[in-house]
Structure 1
Amino acid sequence: MIRRLSIYLPTLFQSFSNSTFTNETLPFSSSSSSSTLITLHDSHSKRTLSPFYNLLPPTQNPNNVVNLISSILKHKSSHLSLLQSNEIKGILPQLGPHEISRVLLRCQSDHSSALTFFNWVKNDLNITPTLQNYCVILHVLAWSRVFSQAMELLAELIQMVEVEGVCASSNEGIYENLVGCTEDCNWNPVIFDMLVKAYVKGGMVEKGLETFRRNIETCLIPNVIACNCLLSGLSRFNYITQCWEVYEEMGSV
């Protein structure tokens, strides 16, 4: 059974912003795992649009972009026609990062629709998703246990953020944004193990070790596969001391 972590996010974010971790442990909640979807809240600031937009037909109302796209995505036969839909072209300029995340959140129970939408935004609209947009789709895929596609997007995101410097938001990195999105998303803690593996496979073993340490500090128990992947990466670079550190942590859980 997958254990989920009860995180008091403001405290955790404060520790991230200070680049240090406290000695306080964060308890696992055995009752937090559920097959039902959590209630979603739009916790991000909304852009202010003129109330006169509500006098327009729904397909011309910029306020309606999230509802309209979400409605189209619910009809699987309409996935491909979404790209040619004339009825939404007029309001697509209102499809910003906040709206993209809201659509993804509404698709939590249907990872296929979420991924279709995400790829449509990225490939057909030529909109570069934000770091938060990536983290939301990663949580959706991991929650649905679509691990292969989640790993592909993780590798893509790491390349963009760590190598190309794209998608960076202020001083927050991938880890901080993945944690932040747990406030609104259903999530599976395995995504944090996958981040360790993705860093190692991308040749960034130091970042993989840093992520491993953060997982330990926040009581996210690493799985054996992630530990073995990290040990393999550390040994290739002759990080013997760090290998023993990981090995000792494996023996203590």
Structure 2
Amino acid sequence: MLTLQFQWQQNRQILNQLAVLKNPTFLFSSSSSSSQPPPDPDQPSLVSDVVSLLTHRRSKSRWTYLRSLLSSTTTTALTPSQFSQIALHLKSNPHLALRFFHFTLTNPSLCSHNLRSYSTIIHILSRARLKTRARIIIRSAFGSPALFDGGGDAPVKLFEVLLRTYRECDSAPFVFDLLIKSCLDLKKIDGSIQIARMLRSRGISPQIGTCNALVSTVLREKGCFAGFGVFREVFGEEVKIGGGVRPNVHTFNALMAGFYRDGEIEMVEELWREMERFGCVPNAFSYSVLIAVFCDGGKIREALKLWEEMGVKGVKPDLVAYEVIIGGFCKIGEMEKAEDLFREMGLCEIEGSCVIYEHLVKGYSDIGDVDSAILVYKDMSRKGFRAEAWTVEALVGGLCAKKRVSEALDLLRVATTDVLFHPSGKSYEILIMALCEDGKMEEALKVQAEMVGKGFEPNPKIYGTFIRGYMKLGNEEMAAILREEMSETLKQKEEVVDHTD
């Protein structure tokens, strides 16, 4: 019997050790396995008195009593250690712990704080899944330089304290995800990257959403290759051997969009193949990016093949996908196909966008079908969409090319009645050239005055247009005056440039 009992005790010890190893908090282990706050040799009864008052007094009166208690029993403020002990006694009531924290902030004479006390409340809110409130506290910590002993790498310092206090506070692993996301909110990108590295060095992977947020922010702020470097760091070699966090379709979408935005289109196709190797199923946005690459490169047939593949695989195109493929067909002048896809959108109950209308206007203008372009523009205006300057410019150019200058002039003047619309200088140049060509110099001068009123100065091209117009009418005197004025204007600009240099 003694032998069996001894064997049973040994087995129990082994099982207990395995349970500790399986516990994820083992990764953050400290010398103590207890989640209770350590005793404070200074005023040990004060902590229990404050806890008792907070938990047993009515909410309306507890803060008055607490202020009175602390004012009468302490010669100095509560220490950060005492705050942490009190907060940990309240961790089963995180909202009360948070109110106590705010009380200490609004009464700084009664309590002082350091990174450890901030970490305690961050852990308590995290374990209660009060993520938004935890992120607010993290951001407020970064806004208090005094917490970081005169500077240094604040994100790393806070990370290290959170790591040391993890077990003591019985926290949740995603507290570090909240720290990384808070750093990203505050544009502390280098700190976010360093925290991710330090986690990985301990065999810990941030959540996939956090990894994607980190990669996306670096792509946007530091460029595609920097973002790709962070992608390889965050996901590492574990993805190749089946461990660690794995990238998903949103990861690859962010990377492909980043490389496309920076003009590195070859990498977009490489990432598409890499996505397939990871078993990530492309969604509508994935297809949109690759279709955009093909359309920009004039590979409209390859783009159409991808579009058909979406249908075969049951991937429903979204608005972005339609914008890209319609824009591709408008670019090469295949307006019938573009209109077919536009009608298909309506059948799928997808509302048109300003981008799609602008593609259609530009497409019709480029092929010289200005009447269709005008119809689309009017429909666009009825739907409440505001055209960009280049769209109106395309219409003005198309109308002037058809000798419909007065219509072009009316269209531009109506567009400029919207104070939020900013016409291009090119639109005015087109009109002035057309009016001068027709010998309508007075109207051309009025347009030129409107042009100056919009902040566009006359340039040699405008001067040349007026000079040719007056010469055509036989007004050599006016042409000579304009030549002299142009020479003087250009000379003044050169002097300004030389003075600036």
- Structure-1-length-normalised TM-score: 0.72
CA contact (8 A) 1:199 1:208 kept: yes
CA distance in 1, matches of 2:37, 2:141: 25
- 1:118-162 Cα offsets, whole Å, 9 max, x none, are 1111113454421100000000000000111001001111222xx
d(CA) in 1 for partners of 2:210, 2:231 = 12
Aligned positions of 1:69-218 closer than 5 A = 69-75=50-56, 78-85=58-65, 86-92=68-74, 93=76, 95-126=78-109, 127-160=111-144, 165-168=145-148, 173-218=157-202
Kindly tell me: are residues 96 and 235 of structure 1, through their superposed partners in 2, closer, same or farther at Cα, counting changes over 3 Å? same
Following the alignment from structure 2 to structure 1, what is the Cα–Cα distance between the partners of residues 223 and 132? 28
User: What is the identity, as a one-letter code, of the residue corresponding to 2:38?
Assistant: D
Write out aligned runs for 1:39-58 (5 A): 39-42=35-38, 46-47=41-42
Distance in 2 separating the partners of 1:225 and 1:7: 21
AA in 2 matched with 1:99: Q
Shift of 1:208: 0.7
Q: Please say if residues 83 and 124 of structure 1, whose CA atoms lie closer than 8 Å, have aligned partners that are also in contact.
A: no
Structure 1 residue 247 corresponds to structure 2 residue 228:
no
1:10–1:70 Cα change, 3 Å:
closer
Structure 1 window deviating more from structure 2 (100-109 vs 121-130): it is: 121-130
Distance in 2 separating the partners of 1:240 and 1:186: 39
Select between 226-235 and 78-87 the one with higher mean Cα deviation. 78-87
Instruction: Report the counterpart of residue 462 of structure 2 in structure 1.
Output: none
**1:236 Cα deviation after fit:** 2.1
Quote the residue 1:26 is aligned against. none
Q: Deviations over 1:149-189 (max 9, x none)?
A: 001001111222xxxx2112598810110011113111101
Which of the two has higher C-alpha Rg? Answer: 2
CA distance in 2, matches of 1:224, 1:149: 21
**Residue 132 and residue 39 in structure 1: after superposition, are their counterparts in 2 closer, same or farther (change >3 A)?**
closer
RMSD value over aligned CA atoms? Answer: 2.7
Structure with the higher helix share, 1 or 2: 2
1:5 and 2:1 matched: no
Q: 4+ runs of 1 displaced by more than 6 Å?
A: none
Cα offset for 1:229?
Answer: 1.4
Distance 1:8 1:177, change over 3 A: closer
C-alpha distance in structure 1 between counterparts of 2:230 and 2:108, whole Å: 43
Is contact 1:79–1:116 with CA below 8 Å preserved after alignment? Answer: no
Aligned counterparts of 1:196 and 1:87: Cα–Cα separation in 2: 38
Mind listing any 5+ residue stretches in structure 2 that lack a counterpart? 1-22, 245-501
What is the CA-CA distance between 1:9 and the residue it aligns to?
4.7
- Tell me, in whole angstroms, the C-alpha distance in 1 between the residues paired with 2:191 and 2:28: 24
* Unpaired stretches in structure 1, ≥5 consecutive residues: 12-31, 33-37, 48-61
> Deviations along 1:25-67, whole A, 9 cap, x unmatched?
xxxxxxx9xxxxx541417x633xxxxxxxxxxxxxx542111
Asked whether the equivalents of residues 118 and 137 of structure 1 are also in contact (C-alpha less than 8 Å), the reply is: yes
The AA in structure 2 aligned to 1:6 is F
| Other structure's SS at 1:83 match | helix
Task: Percent identity, please.
Answer: 19
**Aligned mates of 1:6, 1:246 — CA distance in 2:** 27
Q: Which moved further from structure 2: 126-135 or 193-202?
A: 126-135
Q: Distance in 2 between matches of 1:10 and 1:239?
A: 39
TM-score, normalised via structure 2 length: 0.38
